[in-house]
Amino acid sequence: MEDAQVVNLLVRRCISGDAVAWEEIVQRYNRRIYNICYRFAGSPDDAQDLTQEVFIKMYRTLNSYDVERGAFMTWVTTITRNLLVDHFRKSKQDRMTDSLDSAPSEHEDAMPLSEQIPDKTAPPDSCAQPGNSGNHTSGFAKALPGPSRGGHSARPARHGLQGNCHDFEGSGRDRQVEN
């Protein structure tokens, strides 16, 4: 009996409930599936978990295998590839949704990422001076070219304001704006 015929017989026996046939399928294909999963995952533990998921998927969908559409190994490889792609998408989404304020899952006592990254900018309230609740925007208006001070210009502004908040407090340190 050829290999393809043996596999087809094993599949039919397995679908009819023969546990020994399933054991033989697992033994025949375990190493191949594990190797594919290992190349994808790079970790023996992850590869073993993914291999187990592939076999669960195979067992649940074994009756969908059609001898006329291709070899059993092609069907197994397709299931493996699809599961690995799904796993990659899920793990990618998990990585993208990690919060900067949460501690890394591997080291629960570690500082959150947001505390590990130093913030070298001035705090937002650094422009506020005690007892000075005046209008801080007057310096901005003075820095704008002619028509933009009080009215609207028909042409779009092509200039940018440069500097930090201390440059526009109206203390005479206003910068010239480039057009």
Whether residue 151 is predicted with pLDDT greater than 60 in this model: the reply is: no
Residue with tokens 């629960």: 108
Q: Which token pair is 51?
A: 């291999």
Cα angle 42-45-46, degrees, rounded to a multiple of 5: 60
Q: How far apart are CA 52 and CA 127, in angstroms?
A: 60
Kindly state the percentage of the chain with pLDDT values over 90.
41
Q: Which of 110-119, 139-148, 161-170 has the lowest mean pLDDT?
A: 161-170
Question: Considering the entire predicted model, what is its pTM?
Answer: 0.51
Residues 6+ apart with CB under 8 A from 5: none
Q: How high is the pLDDT of residue 26?
A: 95
